Every structure is written in structure tokens, then in C-alpha cells.
């Protein structure tokens, strides 16, 4: 088993668009205070609280919400090395192990030293034009180069370690982490990867007369996605898209920061979660 994890300075955050999240956050804060841990609570978007996280005042961030909230928490916490404890108030919760009805049980386990830290690779995406960097950002799930509002597909070339892999005529191309393999990449037909892998997964979106298979790249690979047509955009972890011009490149590598998650039980929890989600999702369809 991995080494156990026991925090001493946690903070509780809530997704502000879920009113019930603040009530749960207050309840968790009070629960931890009774256990001898001072755990302030507030909105995940509160800038003063976020500054305290970035300054390293806390050794664990508890986030109440769904997978989207956990993604935002990952972007905030990874640079400071702060582990994330997610409590699921959303629908799917692929990134979250603990449900809202179970948190008391799991906090008891945490305080008994039964938790461990799972490290997940993030990606760094850099947008370049004519050799000049126009900005970069990190992704926990995926980097997507896709068509904009125009319905025409885009033409893209993918290079791996500076060598051309293939060209695509498609709605887009996803460069995903193992974490993101259960997100957009899964919806686009990609495989599910174990979360501890440090590979980059390339998945085309609705390819037209192009390679239609996903490609799993070896650890440490770098990918350049070169735009060969107009009307393309870049989106990182579902954030608002950035317009791209023809011949722009999006260069994707492993980030130098890692998202850390508080986990319980053996690492096989991931496959049990996947099975539960798949079975739950299939209930809405006739068999």
C-alpha cells in the first residue's frame, strides 16, 4: 500500500453555483473542528482563499461539487502541491471517490491514517504562432484543437517528438492525460487508461477519411498539433476557446506540476468506480 497521509491544516471549498454545497462545507468544517482541526470554508472562487492556497497555508483542499469543480481545484492546487479531497455533489464524479452521504465515514478513515496520495500527470499546452509563444496553460483532463462555430472540419497535422505522425480532417483532435481518458476522449471513442500512467493519448473527433484510431504515446513524448486550415480553436479542460489561425501550433508536453488526490482503500478503487459509472449510465437505455 502507498504511504499514509494525515493532514493538519485543511481548507473546505464549495462550488458557488450549488447552494447545497455551502451547507455541506459548513458541516464538514464543524465536524473537523470537533476533531481538533481548524478548517476554514468558503467559495472555490473566493480570491482571498485561493491566494492562501497558492501561498501554501493549507496541506489539503476539500472541494464539494462535481468533476468540473475538481478540475478547477486541480489547476489551483497542483502548483503548490496541495492534495485534493473531493466530495461528490454532482452527477458522474469520475474524479471523486467520496459521495455526499459518505463523507463522515471517510473523514474518520482519514483521521485514522487510512488515506494515501494519488499523483496524476497534467499536460502543458503552449500556443505558438510564427515561432512566438502566445501563452500556455496546464490541463488535468485534455487539450483540444477543434473546429469553431463553422460546421466544416479542420485540417490538422500531429507531430510526435518533432516527427510527423499523421494528418487529420476531423472535427478536432484531443490530447488527453490518463485522467482525461474517462472524459471527452472516452466520448470520442478512446480507451480508458489507468490513472497512474504518464502517457499522452491522442483521439480524433469525428475524423473524415482520416486515421480514426486513438494513439497512446510513450511517457515523456511531446506532441505538436499544427493547424492547416481556418476556423480552429483551442480549449484546455473545457475552458472558453481561444481562436487559432492557420499554421498556428499547439505544443503539448507533460507539465512540471502534478495533481494530487486523497484516496482510500487499494488502488483498484478506480476500476470499481468505472464499473459503477458505466452500469449506472446504461440504466437509462433499453437493453
Give residue 18's pLDDT. 86
Cell of 52: 492562501
The partner residues of 249 in beta bridges, in order of sequence, read: 128, 226
**Which domains, from first to last, does the chain contain?**
4-114+265-282 (3.40.50.10330), 122-256 (2.60.200.30)
pLDDT(269) > 60:
yes
**CB contact at 8 A, 177 and 141:** yes
* CA atoms within 13 Å, Cβ hemisphere of 144: 25
Q: Quickly list DSSP for 38-79.
A: ---EEETT-HHHHHHHHTT--SEEEEEE-HHHHHHHHHHHGG
Q: What pLDDT, on the 0 to 100 scale, is given for residue 286? A: 34
Higher pLDDT, 271 or 17: 17
Residues labelled as active-site residues: 67
Residue 139 Cα distances to 73, 125, 208, 239, 277, angstroms = 12, 8, 27, 10, 23
Taking the C-alpha atoms of residue 169 and residue 68, their distance in angstroms, rounded to an integer, is 29
pLDDT in tens, 98-119: 999 999 999 999 999 999 999 9
| % pLDDT > 70, the chain | 94
Q: For 58-93, what is each residue's pLDDT tens digit?
A: 999 999 999 999 999 999 999 999 999 999 997 767
pLDDT at 216 over 90: yes
DSSP state of 9: S
Residues 118-151 as b/e (b if ≥16 CB within 10 A, e otherwise) read bebbbbbbbbbeeeeeeeebbbbbbbbbbbeeee
Average pLDDT, the chain: 92
Burial track 60-90 (b if 16+ CB lie within 10 A, e otherwise): bbbbbbbbebbbbbbbbbbbeebbbbbbbbb
Regarding predicted confidence, which is higher, 148 or 76?
76
Average pLDDT over every residue of 259-279 = 79
Q: What are phi and psi of 71, to 5 degrees?
A: -60, -45
pLDDT recorded at residue 91? 76
Residue range 9-53, pLDDT digits in tens = 999 999 999 889 999 999 999 999 999 999 999 999 999 999 999
Measured from the Cβ of residue 13, the count of other Cβ atoms closer than 10 Å reads: 29
Amino acid at each position: 500500500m502507498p504511504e499514509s497521509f494525515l493532514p493538519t491544516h485543511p481548507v473546505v471549498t464549495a462550488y458557488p453555483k450549488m447552494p447545497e454545497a455551502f451547507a455541506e462545507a459548513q458541516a464538514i468544517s464543524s465536524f473537523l473542528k470537533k476533531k481538533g482541526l481548524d478548517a476554514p470554508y468558503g467559495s472555490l472562487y473566493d480570491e482571498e482563499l485561493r491566494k492562501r492556497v497558492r501561498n501554501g497555508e493549507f496541506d489539503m483542499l476539500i472541494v464539494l461539487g462535481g468533476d468540473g469543480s475538481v478540475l478547477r481545484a486541480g489547476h489551483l492546487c497542483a502548483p503548490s502541491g496541495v492534495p485534493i479531497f473531493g466530495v461528490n455533489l454532482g452527477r458522474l464524479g469520475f474524479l471523486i471517490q467520496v459521495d455526499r452521504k459518505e463523507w463522515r465515514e471517510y473523514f474518520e478513515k482519514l483521521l485514522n491514517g487510512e488515506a494515501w496520495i494519488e499523483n496524476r500527470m497534467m499536460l502543458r499546452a503552449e500556443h505558438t504562432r510564427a515561432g512566438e509563444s502566445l501563452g500556455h496553460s496546464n490541463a488535468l483532463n485534455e487539450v483540444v484543437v477543434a473546429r469553431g462555430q463553422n460546421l466544416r472540419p479542420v485540417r490538422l497535422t500531429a507531430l510526435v517528438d518533432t516527427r510527423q505522425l499523421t494528418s487529420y480532417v476531423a472535427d478536432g483532435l484531443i490530447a488527453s492525460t490518463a485522467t482525461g481518458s474517462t472524459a471527452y476522449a472516452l466520448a470520442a471513442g478512446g480507451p480508458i487508461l489507468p490513472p497512474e500512467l504518464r502517457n499522452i493519448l491522442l483521439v480524433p473527433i469525428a475524423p473524415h477519411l482520416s486515421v480514426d484510431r486513438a494513439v497512446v504515446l510513450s511517457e515523456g513524448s511531446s506532441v505538436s498539433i499544427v493547424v492547416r486550415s481556418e476556423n480552429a480553436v483551442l480549449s484546455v479542460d473545457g475552458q472558453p476557446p481561444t481562436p487559432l489561425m492557420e499554421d498556428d501550433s499547439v505544443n503539448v508536453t507533460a507539465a512540471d506540476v502534478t495533481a494530487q488526490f486523497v484516496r482510500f482503500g487499494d488502488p483498484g478503487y478506480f476500476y470499481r468506480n468505472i464499473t459503477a459509472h458505466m452500469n449506472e449510465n446504461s440504466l437509462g437505455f433499453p437493453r
